[in-house]
Amino acid sequence: MSATDSIAGLRNQHCQPRRGPDDALGADASAQLLAQLPGWQIDPNSHGIRKSFSFADYFHSMAFVNAVASIAHREDHHPELDVAYNRVGVHYSTHDVGGLSLNDFICAAKVEDLRAG
């Protein structure tokens, strides 16, 4: 079993600098990693992954945004966020590889932990 065979394996890793096509994940690897992340989807328009999270109100949405920002700061990998009153969309891709890298899935796994707690 490798370190990416489960959501726990992903969340226990940390982002590393990834640049160029050698660090880009192919469709098969992306699909395997995506299977570990409930509700996340490939975004064909941006070559990234995304998920929408729902909340009771704006306060809880913003608390979630701040927690995601903390993960982004620690991992030095920053998502695009779409914030509404009771919904937050989170989108990851790795611009330096032109698509998806392992960093996107590591951070998505850490974001999933926010909802588990």
Residue 64 has pLDDT above 90, yes or no: yes
User: 39-53 pLDDT, tens per residue?
Assistant: 999 998 888 999 999
Res 21: pLDDT = 93
Residue 114 contacts residue 76 (beta carbons within 8 Å):
no
At how many degrees (to 10) do helices 27-34 and 102-116 cross?
A: 10
Whole-model pTM above 0.85?
A: yes
User: 80-116 pLDDT, tens per residue?
Assistant: 999 999 999 999 999 999 999 999 999 999 999 997 6
User: 8-40 pLDDT, tens per residue?
Assistant: 999 999 999 999 999 999 999 999 999 999 999
Q: DSSP code of 90?
A: E
> Percentage of the chain with pLDDT > 70?
95
CA pair distance 56, 37, nearest whole angstrom: 23
Residue 69 tokens read as: 């920002």
Res 1: pLDDT = 42
* Domains defined for the chain, CATH in brackets: 7-116 (3.30.1360.20)
Give, rounded to a whole angstrom, the gap between the first and last alpha carbons of the chain: 26
